[in-house]
Amino acid sequence: AQSVTQLGSHVSVSEGALVLLRCNYSSSVPPYLFWYVQYPNQGLQLLLKYTSAATLVKGINGFEAEFKKSETSFHLTKPSAHMSDAAEYFCAVSRNSGNTPLVFGKGTRLSVIA
């Protein structure tokens, strides 16, 4: 079975500081990994995904994530936080094996301080 662990339910950074949101996964086969963002009163929006091509994945809004198989991690980073980045971030894992559900982590709420 697959699972995702997001370390830290709440992360707070200063505007302009590095954003680092942690995600570790568990999967018995090579996974597909996703980061979604949820702004207040909205649904989830895809930031980026890893589907076994390049291990460093670039997404929207300046975010990127690196797939590290040895560490079973897929951490999300952004060099410089902006106030508009304040939202809930979800890591999710899937695999290419028919009807596999997308398993989500519990989410990390990012606050950006001016």
Partner 1 sequence: ETGVTQTPRHLVMGMTNKKSLKCEQHLGHNAMYWYKQSAKKPLELMFVYNFKEQTENNSVPSRFSPECPNSSHLFLHLHTLQPEDSALYLCASSQDRTSGRDTQYFGPGTRLTVL
Decide if residue 28 touches partner 1 (CB under 8 A).
no
| Contacting range for partner 1; rule: CB under 8 A; set: 18-26, 30-38, 56-64, 79-87 | 30-38
Distance CA 47, CA 69 (A): 20
Decide if residue 7 touches partner 1 (CB under 8 A).
no
Q: CA neighbours within 13 Å on the CB side: how many for 21?
A: 33
Least Å distance, CB 45 to partner 1, is: 7
Work out the number of other CB atoms within 10 angstroms of the CB of residue 86. 17
DSSP state of 18: P
Distance CA 114, CA 104 (A): 30
Closest CB to partner 1 among 72 and 100?
A: 100
Q: Choose which of 51, 59, 64, 72 interacts with partner 1 (CB under 8 A).
A: 51
Contacts of 98 (CB under 8 A, 6+ apart): none
Decide if residue 45 touches partner 1 (CB under 8 A).
yes
- Per CB under 8 A, contacts with partner 1 among 86-105 are 90, 94-105
Distance CA 20, CA 99 (A): 31
Interacting residues with partner 1 (CB under 8 A): 9, 32, 34, 36, 41-46, 49, 51, 90, 94-107
